[in-house]
């Protein structure tokens, strides 16, 4: 089987982290976002993953070459010279995806994190005999999204309603698809939206089916959702493999700590924290609802909540970092500094407090 991951462009919503690496390589729960997807695809027998990308393909491929060997899966790039939307990249990669076998292929949005029930999706796709299957997820506020209206008994998609004012349903497109090669014949090589142009036509022919995603789902393409996604991911990890979570009296709730990261005396860590490789957490530190990426040093008695600390940054003694503060790579927050929602670009030193949410260039 093959799969296409829609990697897309600049990842502006996750800046300043995406100023250092392309968005799919930003760490989530101690490994690059895209690796969660590639590992899930490999686990159900996918042998080749095509990355549809229009920004820094060489950075992505150089990075993923290591994993290609480790995971035993082929990773190739399909590079766009202009942004082609969510369907155009399929037309561009047609030769890679249609190999004559007639086998369906997966398409995933690179921002999506979930339990990836891909094996169940293959069974679902074969059972209904349609042309395409999409994963949908239930949401509390459907009016913010495009809603998928489907027949509950069979999963057959009836129509799509964009940001409905009146309630028509609570299921939205989860960005995970399984498509027959014939779908490629419906797409022209130009900027096209699969959600707005391709799927409605397949639905009109009663050949599109939707499977309700079991477990959690989150689009982690922006900081607030990234932090929520981490909570959901760690929750799911506790149910599936709690041994991967950190134990100890200094741990509250679900916490992921890389084995190469020492934690000092008298710390209180959690809930919903990921501490990456090579980090140093000194004595008396308090961490909650945050991600601390590779090579970060957090000095004594610092307090970090609801924030993302980028690679190789430092948070000084008695510093307080909160309210969706995002530190880019190699940012140094001095001792006793307060950051309330600061978004700090890479390679900066913060010597005075950030009292209200602002971008520090």
In degrees rounded to 5, what are phi and psi of residue 112? -85, 130
11 — pLDDT class (breaks 50, 70, 90):
low
**Which of the listed ranges 124-133, 240-249, 327-336 does the model predict with the highest average pLDDT?**
327-336
Tokens of 28: 């989530």
Count of H helices and E strands in the chain?
7, 28
Mean residue pLDDT of the chain comes to 89
- Cβ atoms of 351 and 333 closer than 8 Å: no
Secondary structure letter of residue 164 according to DSSP? -
Domains of the chain, start order: 2-219 (3.90.550.10), 231-359 (2.160.10.10)
- Asked whether residue 41 carries a pLDDT value surpassing 90, the answer given is yes
Taking the C-alpha atoms of residue 124 and residue 113, their distance in angstroms, rounded to an integer, is: 20
92 contacts 84 by C-beta, under 8 angstroms: yes
Tell me if the pTM is above 0.85.
yes
Which token pair is 332?
A: 């140094």
Beta-bridged to residue 261, according to DSSP, are: none
pLDDT on residue 82: 77
User: In this structure, what token pair is assigned to residue 20?
Assistant: 């250092």
Q: What is the mean pLDDT of residues 309-328?
A: 96
Residue 197 pLDDT class (50, 70, 90 cuts): confident
CA distance 210 to 157: 6
Beta bridge partners of 159: 149
For residue 205 the two structure tokens come to: 């022919």
Sign of the CA dihedral 169, 173, 179, 185?
Answer: positive
On whether the CB atoms of residues 32 and 291 are closer than 8 A, the answer is: no
In the chain, % of residues over pLDDT 70: 98
| pLDDT confidence tier of residue 290, bands split at 50, 70 and 90 | very high
Q: What is the pLDDT of residue 23?
A: 81
Question: What's phi and psi for 282, nearest 5 deg?
Answer: -80, 180
Q: CA-CA distance, 27 to 34, in Å (whole number)? A: 9
Convert the pLDDT of each residue in 74-122 to its tens digit.
888 887 777 788 888 888 888 888 777 888 999 998 888 898 999 999 9
Say if CB 157 and CB 134 are below 8 A apart: yes
Given a contact cutoff of 8 angstroms between Cβ atoms, the answer to whether 60 and 25 are in contact is yes
Do 310 and 20 contact (CB within 8 A), yes or no? yes
Burial of 327 (0-12, 13-18, 19+ CB in 10 A): buried
pLDDT above 70 (res 10) = no
Q: What is the pLDDT of residues 137-195, one digit of tens each?
A: 988 887 777 788 888 888 888 888 877 777 778 888 888 999 999 888 888 888 888 88
Alpha-carbon distance 236 to 256, whole Å? 12
How long is the chain? Answer: 361
Which pLDDT does position 9 carry in this prediction? Answer: 64
Q: What contacts 257, CB < 8 A, 6 or more positions away?
A: 246, 263, 269, 275
* 302 confidence band (pLDDT: 50, 70, 90): very high
Cα atoms found within 13 Å of the Cα of residue 239, Cβ hemisphere only: 8
pLDDT above 80: residue 55: no
pLDDT at 343: 94
């Amino acid at each position: 089987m093959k799969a296409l991951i829609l990697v897309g462009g600049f990842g502006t919503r996750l800046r300043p982290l995406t100023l250092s690496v392309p968005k799919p390589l930003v760490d989530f729960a101690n490994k690059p976002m895209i690796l969660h997807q590639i590992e899930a695809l490999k686990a159900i027998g996918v042998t080749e993953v095509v990355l549809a990308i229009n920004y820094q393909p060489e950075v992505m491929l150089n990075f993923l070459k290591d994993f290609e060997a480790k995971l035993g899966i082929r990773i190739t790039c399909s590079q766009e010279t202009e942004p082609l939307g969510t369907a155009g990249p399929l037309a561009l990669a047609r030769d890679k995806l249609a190999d004559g076998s007639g086998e369906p292929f997966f398409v995933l949005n690179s921002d999506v994190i979930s339990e990836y029930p891909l094996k169940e999706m293959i069974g679902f796709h074969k059972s209904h005999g349609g042309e395409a299957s999409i994963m949908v997820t239930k949401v509390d506020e459907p009016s913010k999204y495009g809603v998928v209206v489907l027949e509950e008994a069979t999963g057959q998609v009836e129509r799509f309603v964009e940001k409905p004012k009146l309630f028509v349903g609570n299921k939205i497109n989860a960005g995970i698809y399984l498509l027959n090669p014939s779908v490629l014949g419906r797409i022209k090589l130009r900027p096209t939206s699969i959600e707005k142009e391709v799927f409605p036509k397949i639905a009109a022919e009663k050949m599109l089916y939707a499977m309700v995603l079991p477990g959690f789902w989150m689009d982690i393409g922006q900081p607030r959702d990234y932090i929520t996604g981490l909570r959901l991911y760690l929750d799911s990890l506790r149910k599936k493999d709690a041994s991967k979570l950190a134990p100890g009296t200094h741990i509250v709730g679900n916490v992921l700590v890389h084995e190469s990261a020492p934690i000092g005396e008298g710390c209180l860590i959690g809930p919903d924290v990921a501490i990456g490789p090579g980090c140093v957490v000194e004595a008396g530190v308090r961490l909650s609802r945050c991600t601390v990426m590779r090579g970060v040093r957090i000095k004594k008695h610092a307090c970090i909540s609801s924030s993302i600390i980028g690679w190789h940054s430092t948070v000084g003694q008695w510093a307080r970092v909160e309210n969706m503060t995002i530190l880019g790579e190699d940012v140094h927050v001095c001792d006793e500094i307060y950051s309330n929602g600061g978004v700090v670009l890479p390679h900066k030193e913060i010597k005075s407090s950030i009292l209200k949410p602002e971008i520090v260039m």
